[in-house]
Amino acid sequence: MDLELTPDHAVFRASVREIAQGVVQPLAAEVDRDHRFPIEAIEAATQAGLMGVLIPREFGGAGLDALAFTICIEELAQACASTAVIVDVHTSVGTEPILLFGDDDQKRTWLPRLARGELLGAFALSEPSSGSDAASLKTTARRDRDGYVLNGTKVFITNIGHAGLYIVFARTGAESRAAGISAFIVPAETNGVRVGQVFHKMGLHGSPTGELVLEDVRVPAANRLGAEGQGFSVAMRALDSGRIGISGQALGIGQAAVDETRALMRERGHDEGDDFTLADMAARVESARLLAYHAAWRCSRGMRFTREASMSKLHCTDTAMQVAIDAVQVAGDEGTLSGSPFERHVRDAKALQIYEGSNQVQRVVIARELLRAG
């Protein structure tokens, strides 16, 4: 295994960095302060083709691999963690289920529009009474003539209100838990689809999160993704790669904290205590990066990567949290002021330890994978 990026990956990183540092980063403080959707950043990402990184060229995307996707999210998050999670959720759990489980018609209908950024993707799995235990979800999809009628409420939906399409998981059968769940493509404009409460979060203020309410939402059978009863596998497979994307987001926050701490120390002076802290921060981010890139590398090669993705998500997000807090400690009082990037990184990092499977869930997945192995 070659631990250097290929020339193609290095060139891609440089091109994303140009947009991230040139357009996205200058907006980050304002987006956070005003709790506003970073529309200019998303437009710049769209212009650069970043909304279709994983979508094959035949469907209008860039046709790049999981490592390129991780690098893309890492660079965006270093500039603005809100922008990064919008692009991440769109690209992974909001689009990949169609890529991986869609039939030809579904791919031809939806992927070009997702690749062009004409539609923003989102993922609707969690419910008020089912978060970590996703298989206990209650939303129903009742068979009706040539389609289904969906009813239920989904919560903590990233890209709420801005998404043009939701991948929705609902119960189609009487079978208990995972076996009764199916996945659907639900366009946001469908009658009965409504945005409920939009949440105020401690961080990631530019990334809208809220409730998706489904009231007698009629979708054609052609919008079911995969077979009836296959929905839980669709969700779990999408989350496996989604967790690599969240790792990239964590790396970006962690790297930003390291770089800003280093810049502050150079400018202001530093003692040995600061030096030790900076060294630990940088070593932690670098080790987390290796785990994330390894998981992405396995995914790109078609190898099993469930365990590696969960290890990466666990370690990268814990690292981002730790490093963000360490950076405030070095910065001192200045780092605690509202509007300082140091305090923003702390607020932004926390949700990463919770969404796309809390870090407790990652430990469940890792332990099961370890015990399953021969």
Please identify every residue annotated as catalytic. Answer: 356
Distance of CA 354 to the CA centre of its chain: 12
Which residues are at the interface with ligand CAA (CB under 6 A)? 89, 93, 123, 125-126, 132-135, 156-158, 178, 232-233, 236-237, 239-240, 306, 355-357, 361, 364-365
Question: DSSP of 263-313, one letter per residue?
Answer: HHHHHH---HHHHHHHHHHHHHHHHHHHHHHHHHHHHHTT---HHHHHHHH
Torsions phi, psi of 160, nearest 5? -55, 140
Angle at 274 between CA 272 and CA 278, to 5 degrees: 115
Smaller CB separation from ligand CAA, 99 or 281: 99
Smaller CB separation from ligand CAA, 206 or 357: 357
Smaller CB separation from ligand CAA, 125 or 323: 125
Lookup result for tokens 């999160």 = 209
Taking 3-state DSSP, the helix, strand and coil percentages for the chain, each rounded to the nearest 5, stand at 60, 15, 25
- Compute the least distance from the CB of residue 209 to ligand CAA, in Å: 7
- Compute the least distance from the CB of residue 229 to ligand CAA, in Å: 10
- Compute the least distance from the CB of residue 230 to ligand CAA, in Å: 9
Smaller CB separation from ligand CAA, 158 or 312: 158
DSSP three-state, residue 145: coil
Smaller CB separation from ligand CAA, 8 or 133: 133
Torsions phi, psi of 165, nearest 5? -155, 135
- Compute the least distance from the CB of residue 73 to ligand CAA, in Å: 13
Rounded distance between C-alpha atoms, residue 220 and residue 191, angstroms: 13
- Compute the least distance from the CB of residue 156 to ligand CAA, in Å: 5
Rounded distance between C-alpha atoms, residue 327 and residue 339, angstroms: 15
